[in-house]
Structure 1
Amino acid sequence: MSKADEPRKRPGRTRSAEPEAVRTLERGLIVLRVLGEQSAATLSEVARFAGLSASTTYRLLQTLRQQGFAHEEAGIWQVGIQTFVTGRAYAELDGLVATAKRQMESLVAETGETVNLAVLQAPDVMYVHQVEGRGLMRMFTQIGARSPLYCTGAGKALLAWRDKGDVADLVGAGPYPAFTERTLTSLAAYQAELAEVRQLGYALDNEEREDGVRCVAVPIYGAGGTVTAAMSLSAPASRLGDERVGELAATLQAAAREITVRLGGQRA
C-alpha cells in the first residue's frame, strides 16, 4: 500500500472526555470532507480515507444522504445538492463583504467612526466585517463575534421588517438578560422599539449593550426586498449625541442603498 492509499491519521486527543454527539459530528464532517476531496468514491474508499470502519462510515453516509449532503448511485458516493446550497450561502456572504467594503471605508473616511457589517445568526447578530474609525477611542468588534439581537442596533435593523411572530421566534419570549440599565428586557418593549425603527428607517442602540457606547444601524436589502444584512456605526456616547444621530443615519442609509443596488437587491 502506498502512502497515498494509507488511511489518514487524525490528530490524537482524549476521546473519553468528549460527548458521543460531538464525536459523531466530527466523524460525519470528516466523511463529508472526504467526499468533497475525492469527487466520487465507493464505501470502502470513503472509509479508508476517513480512517473509519466500513459500518460506521455507512451509517454516517446514510445520515448525510438523508439530509441532502451526500448522494449514492450504483455504489458510488458523491456530495449532495445541500452541499452546494451551503457553499453558495458562504459565497454570498463573501460577496456581501466585498460589495460593502468600499462603502464602509468611505463612511469611516467621512465620519471618522467605526463601521460594522452584520448578518443574522439567531439568536444573535454576527459581525462579518469592520472598518475601524480614527478616533482616540475606537469601537472594536472581532470579526465573527456575536451579540444578542435584542440589545444591538444591527439586531434591530435586521428584525424590524419581519413579522412579529418571526421576531418572537428569533429572540425568544423573554425576559432577556440586561447588560446595562437601558437594555430592553421584554418582548413587548422590543416589539415597540422595532415599530419605531420601521418608522424612522434606522435603529439606535442607546447604550443598551455597553455603557458609554451608542450605535446607529440601517438595513441592507437583498432580492425580493428582504433584509439580508445590517450596517452600523459605533462610537462613544460622547461623540454620538442625539443631535448627530439623524445626520449619521442619513449618511448610513445612502451607503446602504448603494450596497443594496450593487447586490441586485431592492427595498420591499
Structure 2
Amino acid sequence: MHDPRPDLAPDAGLSREEMEALQREIATAAVFEDDFSFDPDVLSSPLATTASGGDPPTVVGIDQSFLTNDDGDQDRALSAVVATRGGEVIERVHAVTPLEIPYIPGLLSFREGAPILAALETLSVDPDLCLFDGSGRIHFRQAGIATHMGVVRDVPSIGVAKSLLCGTPRADTDDRSTGTTVGIEANSRVDAPDGTLLGYAVQTRQYDSPNRHINPLYVSPGHRVGPETAADIALALSSSYKLPEPVRLADKYADEAKQNLGE
C-alpha cells in the first residue's frame, strides 16, 4: 500500500503548463502493475469467491454528467459513484461541483476531478477497485483521469474509454470478435518510449452480423493494475452490455441523479 497523494489533487487554477507538469509527476507516482489484495478471478466466478474464503471485492464504477445554467451552458459536473460487491449494488452516491475550466483534451481530470473526489469522500465503503469512464495510462502524459484519481486516493483503478485518445493499436481493431484484445502502444504523442504497452482495445461485445459491428473499448491501467489485468477485468465485468457493469450502472445513475435535480 502506498500513501494517498492529496497534494496531487487537480487544481483548475493552474496554468496549462503547470497542469501538464503535475500530470507528469502523477505518472511517475503511478504503479502500472498489479498491486492489490484480491484475486481478479473472483470478479467473473462465484466459485472462485467461495474457494478464496473471503468476501468479494468492492468494485466502484464512476461516471459524469453535466448540468446547465439558464443560458444552456454547462456550468456544473455531477459525479456518480456506484459501489458493487459480488455483482450487487451496495451503495450509490453523487456530488455536484462547479465547472471551472472548459474541456481541454488531455486535461479532463482538472475539469471533472473535483466532483469525483467529493463523491468518493461521501462513500461509506472502501473501494478495492475503481473503474472510470475515461482514460488511464492511454494518455499523452500517461496520466488520464483514472490514473490521476487513482494516485490521489491510492486505490487500484482502471480507465475505460470509448475512443482512443492517443497511442497506436498493434493490429487492426475493426470488427473483432467478443473477447479479443489488441495492445495499444505509445507513439510520438505519448511521453513514453515508442512501443511501450499502454493498454488494450477490448472487444467486450460484438454483433453476430456481417453488416454491422461494435467498436472496442480502450482499457488501460490507472494505478496499481497492470495492462493485461485491466483488460481481463473489463471483460470479466461485461456481460449483456458493452460497458463493464460498474461503469454502466454509474452512467445510468448519473442520468437518474441529473433528472432528480430537475435537469
TM-score (norm 2): 0.29
Q: Which has the higher strand share?
A: 2
Greater CA radius of gyration, 1 or 2?
1
Q: Which has the higher helix share?
A: 1
Q: Which has the higher contact order (CA 8 A, sep 6+)?
A: 2
TM-score (norm 1): 0.29
